[in-house]
Structure 1
Amino acid sequence: MSKKIFSGVQPSGNLHLGNYLGAIKNFVELQNVKENQCIFCVVDLHAITVKQEPKELKKNIRETAATFIACGIDPTKSIIFNQSMVSAHSEAAWILSCVSRIGWLNRMTQFKEKAGKDKEKASIGLYSYPVLMAADILLYDATHVPVGDDQKQHLELCRDIAQKFNNDFNVQNFLKVPEPLIQKQFSRIMSLKDGMKKMSKSDASDLSRINLTDSKEEISNKVKKAKTDTLPLPENVEALVERPEAENLLGIYASLKNQNLENSINEFKKQNFSEFKKKLSDALTEKIEPISKEIKRLLNDEKYLDSILLAGSDKADKIASKKIKEMKELVGF
């Protein structure tokens, strides 16, 4: 069955292995299913929910587009665009925010985590961000949305908003209620320095992550210094309980090799970490080094990247402007 897939990535700069294995690798696989129609958005409107340096944001938008392409997303097969170039996103977000309920947004755990203790100082944008995310998805009649654990709650909200709009305006199935596409394995890549923390660009230590722009030497150095424990590698999955660093490194290797965790464990059981780390470093270099070189090549051709984003935004606008026109008519505008 054909799927219409929508997903977005924030242009935060310096995308890393967690972004690749947890999302972008899956995007490429979804795109390569002939029946699927894929729309991948650089969500720059979401990025400004926290203060951005304008020049840096512009650079990061191009870098995210370059990363999509370098990882294998093909602009002739998929739509790649940046959100702010399609005005329907902002218009639909406002209409849907008038349908959404404060109680729904108050339940969003991600806002509580990002706003911290002083919620009064957080922006309204950070609070209402999930409504904009719903608009992003619903404008394209997406049937499926790839989500990680941290976005499942937002997709549930999107489904609630779609159903309420349809009920309020008595238009069954006008806004399509999307299904989640949950990556069951390796959707959450952890820090190389702490197997209990998600790999993140915001971590103060660059040694905590493999950046998609890292060189062979940088990858090798980071893997060597990655935190492990004193035991040999386990004989089975059950033995990984309370060994988060071992589980994370074996999971990364398994994902890179497109095999399940059990196969990776069988390959290295009872070995010490130094031998395994050599193999992991080789697997990472084989996958990341070509991506890194291609990102750097593409970043030297800003005109090409801008042309891809412009062409993608034109295609996205044709779809979204039709939907927003219909939404406005239903509302009474």
Structure 2
Amino acid sequence: MSTASNIKRSILVLSISFTVMVVEILGGYAFNSMALLADGWHMGTHTIAIGITVLAYLYAKNKANDPSFAFGTWKVEILGAYTSALLLIFVGLTMGYESIERLFNPKTIDYGYAIATALIGLLVNALSALILGHHSHDHHHGHTHTVGHSHSHGHGRADDSDNKSPLETDLNLKAAYIHVITDAITSLLAIIALIAGLLFDWNWMDPLMGIVGSILVLLWSRSLIKQTTSILIDSGAQDETSETLRGKIKHLVTDISDIQDLRIWRTSNSHYACIIKIQGNADTNVRDHITLALSKLPISYAAIDIDEKVKHQKNSDLQNETRGNR
């Protein structure tokens, strides 16, 4: 799925979410439902998250050709997801506080209207999930830029990201999608609480589900912060794909030369960059062999450093040994 398609889908979901958010919050206050208010405010966080997603997409697209971004503008999208998660922590704590307060100071709830409003929220979340999760096919080709003592370019085959869902390759879109799913669960909890209160007069269920909803928001925020932080600081183990690539690179390159150091990090939704330090002779075609090997992987940038210290040390030892024999 292209970025343009992701932007259109995100804007559509943003419009729908904002409308439902207003309806649920007004309904929660009108019907004195804490669970409905929690669902409405969580829909608000969902709206904020989608809004940040859209802004990140637009900014990254606008600055795509800006040379000041050495490895592209992809991390702008990741920064947007990180910011959204920080805002969610505040909202989750607020939801929990208000729910606890309502647990000890219950109010009369208009269950009929509250249930109807929560059902609308659930349907909207399901629709949003379908919109964001729809998989269309776009095709592109890989291009590896290799930098070392000399410059060369390798054209390789495209990686298998074309066959993957956009939710598997686009973290910005995935963050919005997870938020929608969390919203749907919160809506479902609100409905359960309201039905229980209506049938069994369990008024405590409403604020209790509000507390559960706030915990879900906090857990989601924690997970997103952990994931985006590792990417923003170029942590070594960013995701399963980077670790898989690390293993493939070692397997391919060790057949050519010994690896002294290997660094790998993400530069886009489906491409990576790496720095490889190897032992070898710069006069040979080792670099060309490595470039060819990397062209088979989703590596968009590679810096290859050939260390000849070992070679020079061996030559020095050989010369010393020759002098000693004399």
TM-score when scaled to structure 2? 0.28
Question: Which structure carries more helix by proportion?
Answer: 2
TM-score when scaled to structure 1? 0.27
